[in-house]
């Protein structure tokens, strides 16, 4: 039987799966990596870990699947975007990689607003300037680290870097290209070279772009030796990680809506309408990356809020995991389940690394409002879960009013969606039925599907819907929704009240850094 391998890089870790030609998962392996925050507003990875982890988890996945590497007939990779891995002519990273939470290039954004103008940038990219740090971070590099900038040969995404390691080819794909921003023309699927030259970036810095299912090369003998793969396996161009998760869970029709609660929290609505909302993130969708699009509202720190709490306030419990066999996240959920809707009047603004849709405030930071002596860790956890729901609902109500085709139920997919409590909160805040994807593999499964389409093993993406089972239908609780809407209004007011103070705080950070 033919087999396919999918590999996904999130903000907090990498995961891989191997499936057969009937869609059955034979193995799944995940490994975390650290998020580096050396300065306020910076968010990086050590790019050397990307390939090291790939070599480990691929070898283990092959072993767990009990197959020969020669049985794998296709590979596809996805990654969380925007990300940026800057490499030299010898394919080596110039320094740490940028991940999607990085917010350092504020001065470059201001310069582009002044010199080019936000409206002109939206006309080309169909996205707000602040959404896409790929090009603005290159401008930051040029201004702040010219000695490193001069060494840059190509500006790649994480998946583009991994594909380079697999094949030796510099490449990108249409679903990820929008995250370079500014000078990438979404509708024409190419960079605007005249604009790049105007802002001082050589068009040669960017890789060639392809349809997601295009074959961009084959696994080289060196890559095969390091990963345990057989040389010659075709490698697809790839896709952005949220697309991968949604493809793998059967999102193939216009109006389909799915939600992820990964490191960031987001949901996507599949559309063919090119009248893109200016407050959302818009890019090409995998199933037909020349003609279909996805509208994606995003809150920057979604599941990362709960990981932050685990890593900083549950250290003893994490240390005891191996001894008692209790997952710390399960304990966190149990504590939050004891707290009623509204978290006993505790409200959180979840902006630990700035915020994206719909407020677009790079200076925003987290707020815990109403903290009292009666509040426990469980209250804070639940209030954080509710805050992510509020942040996403803020965008959802805007899209509902816009008249976009939106079907129901909302399909909950990766990350924190496995929490019954968090799904209940989402269902009640949105006041829309939700279901859960039974398969928990997420993005790498969608990558494996993409590899199957790219190699002709699958005729199209319809197999993804055929193989996906939706479970645990939840209907909204009207009384809970009424409570949440009161808190949501206060959530909105609270942000407006502190918005100006965020700017003052940003100036103080700059002054005393």
116: pLDDT strictly greater than 70: yes
| 210-266 tens-digit pLDDT | 999 999 999 999 999 999 999 999 999 999 999 999 999 999 999 999 999 988 899
Contact indicator for 180, 195 with CB cutoff of 8 Å: no
Residue-wise burial string across 438-456, b where 16 or more C-beta atoms lie within 10 A, e elsewhere: ebebbbbbbbbbbbbbbbe
pLDDT, average across residues 4-22: 96
Q: Please give the pLDDT value at position 323.
A: 84
**Cis amide prior to 82 (ω within 30 degrees):** yes
Alpha helix (H) ranges present in 187-264? 193-199, 221-227, 241-248
Q: Which long-range contacts (CB under 8 A, 24 or more apart) does 25-30 make?
A: 25/439, 25/441, 25/445, 26/64, 26/65, 26/66, 26/67, 27/60, 27/61, 27/62, 27/63, 27/64, 27/65, 28/61, 28/64, 28/441, 28/444, 29/57, 29/60, 29/61, 29/64, 30/57
pLDDT, average across residues 411-416: 87
Domain boundaries, the chain: 3-249, 303-393+477-512
- Mean pLDDT, the chain, integer: 95
The DSSP secondary structure of 491-511, one letter per residue, reads HHHHHHHHHHHHHHHHHHHHH
Q: Please give the pLDDT value at position 41.
A: 86
Q: Please give the pLDDT value at position 199.
A: 97
Structure tokens belonging to residue 403: 């008249």
CA distance linking residue 216 with residue 223, whole number of Å: 15
Residue-wise burial string across 404-431, b where 16 or more C-beta atoms lie within 10 A, e elsewhere: bebeebbbbbbbbbbbebbbbbbbbbbb
Find the farthest-apart pair of alpha carbons in the chain and give their distance in angstroms, rounded: 62
pLDDT, average across residues 399-419: 91
Alpha helix (H) ranges present in 35-101? 47-65
| 16-46 tens-digit pLDDT | 999 999 999 999 999 999 999 999 889 999 9
Instruction: Assign a CATH topology to domain 3-249.
Output: Nucleotidyltransferase; domain 5 (3.30.420)
pLDDT, average across residues 402-408: 92
Round to the nearest angstrom and report the end-to-end CA distance of the chain.
Answer: 58
443: pLDDT strictly greater than 80: yes
67: pLDDT strictly greater than 80: yes
Give the residue among 509, 395, 4, 468 at the shortest CA–CA distance from 247: 468
Q: What percent of the chain has pLDDT over 70?
A: 100
513: pLDDT strictly greater than 80: no
| 320-337 tens-digit pLDDT | 987 888 899 999 999 999
75: pLDDT strictly greater than 70: yes
pTM of the predicted model over 0.85: yes
Q: Please give the pLDDT value at position 131.
A: 61
Question: For the domain bounded by 303-393+477-512, which CATH number is listed?
Answer: 3.30.420.40
Contact indicator for 51, 93 with CB cutoff of 8 Å: no
334 secondary structure, DSSP code: H
Structure tokens belonging to residue 185: 């023309």
pLDDT, average across residues 399-414: 92
pLDDT, average across residues 407-433: 94
Helices (H) and strands (E) counted in the chain, each on its own, are 19, 25
132: pLDDT strictly greater than 70: no
Q: Please give the pLDDT value at position 130.
A: 79
Contact indicator for 153, 93 with CB cutoff of 8 Å: no
Q: What percent of the chain has pLDDT over 90?
A: 91
Q: Is 186 helix (H, G, I), strand (E, B) or coil?
A: coil
| 273-325 tens-digit pLDDT | 999 999 999 999 999 999 999 999 999 999 999 999 999 999 999 999 878 88
């Amino acid at each position: 039987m033919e087999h396919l391998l999918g590999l996904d890089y999130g903000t907090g870790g990498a995961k891989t799966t191997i499936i057969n030609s009937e869609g059955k998962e034979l193995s799944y392996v995940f490994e975390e990596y650290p998020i580096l925050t050396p300065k306020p507003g910076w968010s990086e990875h050590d790019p050397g870990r990307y390939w090291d982890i790939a070599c480990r988890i691929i070898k283990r996945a092959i072993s767990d699947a009990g197959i020969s590497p020669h049985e794998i007939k296709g590979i596809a990779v996805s990654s969380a975007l925007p990300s940026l891995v800057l490499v030299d002519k010898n394919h080596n990273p110039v320094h740490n990689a940028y991940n999607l939470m990085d917010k350092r290039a504020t001065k470059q954004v201001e310069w582009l607003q002044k010199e080019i103008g936000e409206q002109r940038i939206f006309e080309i990219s169909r996205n707000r300037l602040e959404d896409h740090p790929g090009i603005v971070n290159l401008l930051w590099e040029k201004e702040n680290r010219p000695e490193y900038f001069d060494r840059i040969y190509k500006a790649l995404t994480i998946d583009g870097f991994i594909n380079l390691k697999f094949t030796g080819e510099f490449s990108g794909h249409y679903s990820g290209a929008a995250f370079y921003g500014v000078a990438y023309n979404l509708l024409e699927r190419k960079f605007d070279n005249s604009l790049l030259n105007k802002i001082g970036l050589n068009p040669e810095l960017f890789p060639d772009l392809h349809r997601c299912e295009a074959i961009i090369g084959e696994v080289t003998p060196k890559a095969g030796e390091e990963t345990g793969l057989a040389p010659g396996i075709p490698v697809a161009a790839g896709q952005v990680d949220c697309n991968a998760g949604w493809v793998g869970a059967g999102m193939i029709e216009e109006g389909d809506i799915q939600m992820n609660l990964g490191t960031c929290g987001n949901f996507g609505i599949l559309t063919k309408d090119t009248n893109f909302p200016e407050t959302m993130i818009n890019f090409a969708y995998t199933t037909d990356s020349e003609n279909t699009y996805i509208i994606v509202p995003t809150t920057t720190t979604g599941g990362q809020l709960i990981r932050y709490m685990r890593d900083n306030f549950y250290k003893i419990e994490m240390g005891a995991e191996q001894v008692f066999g209790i997952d710390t996240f399960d304990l966190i959920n149990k504590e939050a389940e004891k707290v009623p809707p509204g978290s006993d009047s505790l409200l959180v603004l979840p902006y630990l690394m700035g915020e994206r849709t719909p407020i677009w405030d790079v200076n925003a930071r987290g707020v815990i409002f109403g903290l009292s002596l009666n509040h426990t860790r469980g209250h804070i956890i639940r209030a954080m879960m509710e805050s992510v729901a509020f942040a996403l609902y803020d965008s959802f109500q805007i899209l509902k009013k816009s008249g976009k085709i939106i079907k129901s139920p909302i399909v909950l997919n990766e990350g924190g969606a496995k929490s019954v409590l968090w799904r209940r909160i989402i269902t009640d805040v949105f006041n829309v039925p939700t279901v859960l994807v039974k398969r928990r593999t997420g993005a790498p499964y969608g990558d494996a599907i993409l590899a199957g389409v790219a190699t002709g093993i699958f005729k199209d993406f319809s197999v993804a819907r055929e193989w996906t089972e939706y479970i645990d239908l939840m209907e909204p609780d009207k009384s809970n929704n009424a409570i949440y809407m009161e808190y949501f209004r206060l959530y909105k007011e609270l942000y407006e009240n502190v918005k100006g103070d965020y700017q003052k705080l940003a100036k103080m950070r700059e002054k005393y850094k």
